[in-house]
Amino acid sequence: MSLTSPRRYWLTGAGSGIGAALAEELLKTGAHLALSSRSPAPLKVLSQRYPGQVLVLAGDLTNSQTVREIGEQIADAWGSLDTVILNAGTCEHVDARQFDHSIVEHLVRTNLLASSYCAEAALPLLRAGTAPHLIGMASSVTYLPLPRKEAHGASRAGLRHLFESMRIELAPEGIEVTMVSPGPLNTQPTKPSDLSMPLSWPADKAARYILEKLRNRPLEITFPGMFMAALWPMSNLPDRMVLAIGKRMVRSSPPIKDRP
């Protein structure tokens, strides 16, 4: 592919939220996008609005065979990729008083394992691309333990370590790796019982910010600024102070301890 050709992206989690907003912004620039989500309907809408720019590759990314087949479809259609944005993921809250390991299992499978399947499929295509760039979606919760974020934080922290380790190994090949660590986003309504997260951004604003920052290929993109300015100092506090702050963030009182 020549340097004047449109860049070719694979964007996962493109059916809603920040993924859909990223797809919209990228398509406006004339980029060609391979779009993945569980549901094909929103992807088909984009393919109709931007004819000739979209490959619709819907499927369950937690299934390694499905991801392998998606990679083969991209290879057959384009032969290479220039940028891969692994945005697909989910968030569910844990109640430690009624701990359910299946929530942890589900989030690790969706946020970490699925991204590893996608990376396996994408890397050969990036090696054949122009100025290749791999982008992973982590989270600000990887900096600081927060109540009810046990499963989400664990899965995103695993993803961070995976990608930052790959960054070192891929550097000699010229494949650059960027981590995106957003703070709260109001991409969907929150339940009354959920942890209140102030300073949230709408998905379209977050997408524009990410794409603007990606031009310089930083090692990491974090936002919103005010939220991160408050979070970073807290992440360096002694553990006992973090525990004390965390306790105050839990809305309901802690369970009564068993007594002899």
- Alpha-carbon distance of 244 to 192, in angstroms, equals 23
pLDDT at 76 > cutoff 50: yes
Confidence bin at 57 (pLDDT 50/70/90): very high
CATH top class, domain 8-249: alpha beta
The mean pLDDT of 144-173, rounded to a whole number, is 90
What was the pLDDT predicted at 126?
A: 98
Dihedral sign of CA atoms 162, 163, 165, 170 in order = positive
What was the pLDDT predicted at 230?
A: 59
What was the pLDDT predicted at 235?
A: 57
Residue 36 near residue 58, CB atoms below 8 Å: yes
List, in order, residues 6 or more apart from 3 with CB less than 8 Å away.
Answer: 130
On whether the pTM is more than 0.85, the answer is: no
Please write the tens of the pLDDT for every residue from 85-118.
999 988 888 877 888 888 899 999 999 999 999 9
pLDDT at 240 > cutoff 90: no
Domain boundaries, the chain: 8-249
What was the pLDDT predicted at 256?
A: 41
What was the pLDDT predicted at 229?
A: 59
DSSP 208-225: HHHHHHHTT--SEEEE-H
Residue 231 near residue 143, CB atoms below 8 Å: yes
Confidence bin at 190 (pLDDT 50/70/90): very low
The mean pLDDT of 242-254, rounded to a whole number, is 51
- Alpha-carbon distance of 230 to 237, in angstroms, equals 12
- Alpha-carbon distance of 25 to 224, in angstroms, equals 19
